[in-house]
Every structure is written in structure tokens, then in C-alpha cells.
Amino acid sequence: MFILFCLNACDKQLDESHNVHPAAITTSDSSSVFIIEQAFPGQTGIPKKGELFGQTISYKDINGEAVFQGDILLSPEQLAVITDSAGSANGRISGAGLADKFKRWRSFIIPYTIDPALPNKARVTDAIAHWESKTPLRFVMRTSQSDYITFRPSSGCSSKLGRIGGQQFINLGTGCNTGTAIHEIGHAVGLLHEQARTNRDSHISVKYDNILQTEWDQFDKYQLSTTPGFDFREFDFNSIMLYAPFNTYAINQSKPTMTRKDGSTWTPNRSSLSAGDIKTVTSMYANLYIIWNKYLYAVNVKDGSYAAIDNTWSGFNAKFIAEDDAYLWAINGETLWRVDRLSGKFKSFGSGWSGAMGVTGIVNGNTRWAIQGTNLYAINAQGQRFKVTNRNWNSAQAILAHKDYVFVVRSDNRLVRVDLNTPEPKVVRDLGGGWSNVKAIAVSRASSNEVYIIRGSSLYRVNIDTGNAVVVGLSQWAGTEGMAGIDGKLYIVAGGILWEVDENGNRRSLGGGWSGTQSMGVVRNANVL
């Protein structure tokens, strides 16, 4: 299924990703005019400047809430307020922190309650059913969870952005329908408005001469560099998060506030998540990454759903990709790349890596590790490399960084451990031989004193101090193409299937079509598990 899909549509899929919103209500002339979701309809509020994700934004103070782009309620920690006071040297009130990392819902679960006073509760339950049918996110009635959403009646429609912590509200006025609820849940999940993408000017023209000046901030772009995930792939005219071209912010509502670059308008999607919306959520709520063919995929470990985030990895030949909070690191050909794990955008961090055996995860300070030819290198966050130990690592079979060690399966079939905390030349401990035909090495959790190695058709659990190895589960791993681990689970591609494997070797299929996998990695701090 996966392969067929990709043969036909992968490039196209990468070109189609994001889209729109609005709920029809009034018409003027022959055009439908849409009411944009608004937190406080009819209230203009006090225009203010603040900082969101590193960029100055305009928002409105309405009834003490910071309202951004009509229906997004910013929390104080998301918003660093900029004052106009001359006494504020950097224009920022100290202590008003800037959220540099988006808050996602943990374990893909969103606890919620519905205010008994909310009319037409089916709007909420239908919207939730839609979200659950399209994404791995699951909504559960709140019992004692500390972080949860309450759907409550209001004059307008609005939501906080992401998981705020504690109780947060999605406000639904009488004019808010199921589609609106889907949109507002989108904000709570972490989606922003499509027209606010940093690259939107390449796709749409905003007609400020037909927009009420007091509402210009509704059409602001925002900076995504420090909070990736929203500028996912291409602009999506079908996103439920995109405003309608005809809307209530227009001076002349028979004319659009936005058009495509060719001057035409679009029919807004106000009823369901678009394919692009779904892929964006997949990307935000993923922490397993697979390089397959020329694609880099973000994979949700709950159900195996995936989103292609880049398609430029043709010829990828290194075995490993590394991870940190926001980035993947990979060597392809000559170059070490740092890849934004949500947007897929990449940046060179140096060349001269021809023939290197990938780059490992980050341990022992903010350091990645790679073997190239005879040398083991430490790589810092700027991509600078430093030779470590004077051993000859020529033709190592596998490398793994874990705790304050780098584990190497050498070409003479010995597993060795480099103790990174020892002075140069580092202490290298021999953990035993017999490791021929090693296909993959991984660790299942950051605190573990064991690593997992697939040799031949067997999965071994190996003590990192003694080298003691035991076979785990059935010897069914002959066709292994890659392995990564997180949160007590291993993820193994074998026989073209992506398996979730527990620490006893029990496995569960997360879907097929992965034959040809070149590399796998996890982001340990994605904050989703």
C-alpha cells in the first residue's frame, strides 16, 4: 500500500500539504462571506505588540485575554509582551518568558470535559470523532489529569495554542459549528492559521486595501524558525486552518481579502481536516524518523502513520541519523546536515564526510559521534569535529552513542565501548566477540544499562558493562533493515514491515511498505511520549 501510494503520489504529496477554513453565514452579492472564528465578536479590543516564537506580533487585549488572529488565545508564557515604555531597554518586560518549544499533548492523549451549559454538545463529540478518525490523537473524558480542555459556551469561538498546562478552554459560541470545533481543536493541538505561514506570500496575495485596518493583524505572518511544525511542506489551500478569501474582515465584503497569486479565490474548507492538516499533525506528534528511498518520514509510533517531510535524500548511504530536541543530524555523501525535524528544512554543517558511517545520537554533552575511515569523531552543535582516541576504527559495522559511551561493533566482530568521560586517549573496553553480521544496534531507553543488537536473525540484549548477551524473543529478524528505540520500545524494520518491539521481544506491526529503509532514528525529547 505504502509503495503503491508512493510510486504514484509521493512527490505530489510533498507538494500538497496545507489548507483552509470558515463557516458560511451571510451572502452579499453572489459571493459567500464567511465569518472568521472570533473569540469576542464585535469587540475590537486594545491593539498591543508582543513576541511569539521570536517574532514581534500584533494582538489585541480583549477582556484581559491576549487574542491573536481572531480566535487564538495566547498564554502569558507564549507571549512576551513588548512595552512602549522608554525605560524598558530591550522593549520586553522581564520575566515574561518566551515559549521556545511548543507544548504538545503527551502520549497522544487529550483529556477534556464539556461544560454542562454548552448547547449542542454534538458539535464537540462530532469534532472529536473526526479528529480520532484522522489522527492518532485520542480524546478521553478527564478524570484526574492535570492538563485538559474544557469546551464551554461563549460569545465567540476561540482556543489556546497548544497544551498550556492545567485547565484550558475551547470557547464555542452559538455560531460555532462542528467544523469550527475541529478548527479550534486544531489550535489546541498546535496548528496555526495557514495564511500566517512564513512563505504564504509565494502562494497568496493579501489585499490590505480591502481589509479593515484594525484587522490587519489577523493577516500577519509569524516566524516559525524556533517553533517548527506549522510551516509544514507546501501551502495548503484546503486546510481547515486557512481563512476564507471572502470574510468579515473585508471593507467591501463582495471583494476578497486574499487571493491566489493568479487573482482567483478558493472555496474554503470548513468541514474537515485536509490531508495536509493531518500530515502536519503527524509531523508534530512524531518522534521516529525513517529515511526510505529519497524520503525522510516522520512516523507516529502509536499507529505507524507517517508524513514525508522531505524528499531530497536520494543516495543516502550512511547508516545512522542522530537526534536532538528539534533537529535530526545526518551525513549524506560528503555533507553533515542538520534537519529541522518538523519542516524538513536542512542546513549544511560541514563537508568532508565521504564514507562516514553516519552520526549517532547526542551524549556526553551536546555532542554527536561518527566514524569515518580510521577515525572516531565528536561533533559539536556547530558541526565542528574533533578526533577522539587514536584507535583504528576502519570498517566498523555499527556505532551507537548511549549514556557516556560510544559502542562500536568493529570489523573484527568485537563489541567495544569507548568511555567518553576518560581522558584522551579514551579508555576502550572490549565487551566480547562473535558479533559478525550485525545489522543494527539501538537502545530502548535513555537510562538503560543494556543495548540491543540484531545479529543474523536474532535480537540480543547486551549488558553495557559485562558484554553479557541474551537472545530476546523469537529469532525472526533476518530481514532487518534498521532499528531505533525509545520509551521502552524498539522500532525495527524487517521484511519491509515496521515493528514495534517490547523489551521481551514481542512485536506488533505498525504497517508495511518499508522495504528499502536506509536509516532510522528517534527524537528522545519530542515531548510526545
Residues lying near Zn ion in the complex (CB under 5 A): 37, 71
Of the pair 71, 277, the CB lying nearest Zn ion is at: 71
- Pair 441, 398: CB distance under 8 Å: yes
Of the pair 51, 194, the CB lying nearest Zn ion is at: 194
Q: Residue 183 CB, nearest distance to Zn ion (Å)? A: 6
Of the pair 257, 519, the CB lying nearest Zn ion is at: 257
Residues 6+ apart with CB under 8 A from 19: 194, 236, 237, 238, 239, 240, 241, 242, 269, 274, 276, 277
Q: Residue 170 CB, nearest distance to Zn ion (Å)? A: 11
Q: Residue 202 CB, nearest distance to Zn ion (Å)? A: 22
Of the pair 37, 215, the CB lying nearest Zn ion is at: 37
Give the containing element (helix H, strand E) for 23. strand 23-28
Of the pair 235, 295, the CB lying nearest Zn ion is at: 235
Q: Residue 71 CB, nearest distance to Zn ion (Å)? A: 4
Q: Residue 145 CB, nearest distance to Zn ion (Å)? A: 25
- Pair 403, 464: CB distance under 8 Å: yes
Q: Residue 300 CB, nearest distance to Zn ion (Å)? A: 24
Q: Residue 240 CB, nearest distance to Zn ion (Å)? A: 9
Using a 10 angstrom Cβ sphere, with 0-12 exposed, 13-18 middle and 19 or more buried, the burial of residue 526 is buried
Strand partners, 451: 462
Q: Residue 36 CB, nearest distance to Zn ion (Å)? A: 8
Cα–Cα dist 172/167, whole Å: 16
| Long-range contacts of 196-199, Cβ-Cβ distance < 8 Å, separation of 24 or more | 196/69, 196/220, 196/221, 196/222, 196/230, 197/18, 197/221, 197/224, 197/230, 197/231, 197/235, 198/222, 198/223, 198/224, 198/231, 199/231, 199/235
Of the pair 191, 486, the CB lying nearest Zn ion is at: 191
Q: Select from 421, 362, 369, 434 the least CA-distant residue to 399.
A: 369
- Pair 461, 448: CB distance under 8 Å: no
Of the pair 221, 345, the CB lying nearest Zn ion is at: 221
Q: Residue 223 CB, nearest distance to Zn ion (Å)? A: 18
What backbone torsions phi and psi does residue 75 show, to the nearest 5 degrees?
A: -85, 160
Of the pair 67, 286, the CB lying nearest Zn ion is at: 67
Q: Select from 286, 357, 284, 355 the least CA-distant residue to 321.
A: 357
Of the pair 72, 328, the CB lying nearest Zn ion is at: 72
Residue nearest to Zn ion (CB): 71
Of the pair 71, 310, the CB lying nearest Zn ion is at: 71
SS3 (DSSP) at 490: strand
**What does the chain come to in residues?**
529
Using a 10 angstrom Cβ sphere, with 0-12 exposed, 13-18 middle and 19 or more buried, the burial of residue 54 is middle
- Pair 52, 40: CB distance under 8 Å: no
